[in-house]
Structure 1
Amino acid sequence: MKVIQYFNKNKLLTIVLLIYAVLFLITPAKAGLAVKNSIYYIVEMLQIMPVVFLLTAILEAWVPKEVIMNGFGERAGLKGSAFSFILGSLSAGPIYAAFPISKMLLKKGASVTNIVIILSTWAVVKVPMLANEAKFLGPKFMGVRWILTTIAIFIMAYLTAMIVKIESIPMTELTHKKKGGEININEQYCMGCGICTRISPKNFKMKNKKAKFKENDVNDSENVNKAIEKCPVNAISN
């Protein structure tokens, strides 16, 4: 029974381990090489991802939502697309490092179009990569490939935004409706200090060491706004 429960919770990991087991039985040499490559990428991720998560947390806590919306949101227009292209082009690190940053930008008000541009340029139009491409394949090849890829990125970004709506993307942020607006609590960054519950006990409670907005009709907007202002990690917004 416990084995079945573990499998249901870790299906992907279990399937990967089974594939490795089969490879070791059939071709031990290739299986050993696959394990070596996997360990290399795991070590790389362990070195990079903590820094990425720290950077993401800092940006989410200290960069105002209005700044992201003005720079990368729907109302940013062509300026936002240009900023997104530059951000992705000047980025460093593997593409998987861009996913948590992109998620943070989406929660802060970035558009789907601009997130696609960031991810795509991060993957195939990075400036350091272009220099190596020109060195090995020639400047003409690099230039033509860069132009065509850029055109394709913008077309793909706008098509993706037409098909995928931001409401369909899972977020860690919980949204609660209240009189006069909504309250957003980002559980990922809530440190469980309980300041909000002390300031506005009618509207906030603690559950599993995380702040929750009470589902009631009590209108305590003044203290709710004060709780938002006093939250030390800016985990609450409206």
Structure 2
Amino acid sequence: MKKSRSGLIMLGIVVVLYGILYVMKPDVTLDALGASLKVLKMIIPILLIVFFIMALLGTFIDEKAISKHLGEESGGKGWLLALVGGILSHGPGYVWYPLLQNLREQGAKDGLVIAFIYARAIKIPWLPLMISYFGWAFTLVYTFYVVLGAYLQGVIVERLDDKEREQ
């Protein structure tokens, strides 16, 4: 399925489901639609920022730079950038998806994208609270295992991609 059509198909499915639910329970459906519109209003500014960043990336960063830092030849530096970038990233995860898709289209490895997403589980602003509840040792072990898990999941995806390419 083409990427451009998949979004329209998903939109169509959601509209049909809302229509079916409206026939069954109009009040509940209108409440749900209202809640969805509130969420949309909340994320539009964030999405605009992400689209602006994507435009900047498309304008100022060429594919060779992406390939060098996050592509096939990125090596350890790519893993470090993905893991640290994931840890430092803030905000809801879904606002990062368009940017990450753009990076993939410009040559970033899937394993690095997975590592970035997984490493987002570490929230720097919450670390002091975690330390106060669970202590230093727990927080350090937890953080270590999240980073290790992010790396291992990225490696697994890379190996699966390699096997897929061999076929």
Same fold (TM over 0.5): yes
Aligned counterpart, 2:66: 68
Aligned counterpart, 1:127: 124
Compute the displacement of 1:58 (Å). Answer: 0.9
Aligned counterpart, 2:151: 154
One of 97, 100, 105 as aligned partner of 1:99: 97
Aligned counterpart, 2:81: 83
Compute the displacement of 1:86 (Å). Answer: 0.9
Higher strand share: 1
Compute the displacement of 1:29 (Å). Answer: 5.4
SS in 2 for 1:75: coil
Equivalent AA in structure 2 for residue 155 of structure 1: L
What is the identity percentage for the equivalent residue pairs of Structure 1 and Structure 2?
22
Distance 1:58 1:30 in 2: 42
Report the CA distance shift for 1:138/1:39 in structure 2 as closer, same or farther (over 3 A): farther
Unaligned runs of 5+ in 2: 1-5
SS in 2 for 1:164: helix
Q: Residue deviations 1:59-92, cap 9 Å, x none?
A: 1211243332332223221221011111111112
Aligned counterpart, 1:114: 112
Report the CA distance shift for 1:104/1:23 in structure 2 as closer, same or farther (over 3 A): closer
TM-score with structure 1 length normalisation? 0.54
Unaligned runs of 5+ in 1: 1-7, 169-238
Distance 1:131 1:65 in 2: 35
Equivalent AA in structure 2 for residue 52 of structure 1: V
Report the CA distance shift for 1:158/1:43 in structure 2 as closer, same or farther (over 3 A): same
Higher relative contact order, chain-length normalized (CA < 8 Å, sep 6+): 2
Report the CA distance shift for 1:15/1:146 in structure 2 as closer, same or farther (over 3 A): same
Compute the displacement of 1:112 (Å). Answer: 2.0
Distance 1:66 1:80 in 2: 14
Aligned counterpart, 1:20: 18
CA-atom RMSD in angstroms: 3.2
Q: Residue deviations 1:84-121, cap 9 Å, x none?
A: 11111111222122222222322333222212112222
Higher helix share: 2
Distance 1:46 1:162 in 2: 36
Rg bigger for which structure? 1
CA contact (8 A) 2:67 2:74 kept: yes
Distance 2:104 2:25 in 1: 44
Compute the displacement of 1:23 (Å). Answer: 3.5
Tell me how many residue pairs correspond in the alignment: 158
SS in 1 for 2:96: helix
Report the CA distance shift for 1:9/1:115 in structure 2 as closer, same or farther (over 3 A): closer
CA contact (8 A) 1:133 1:142 kept: no
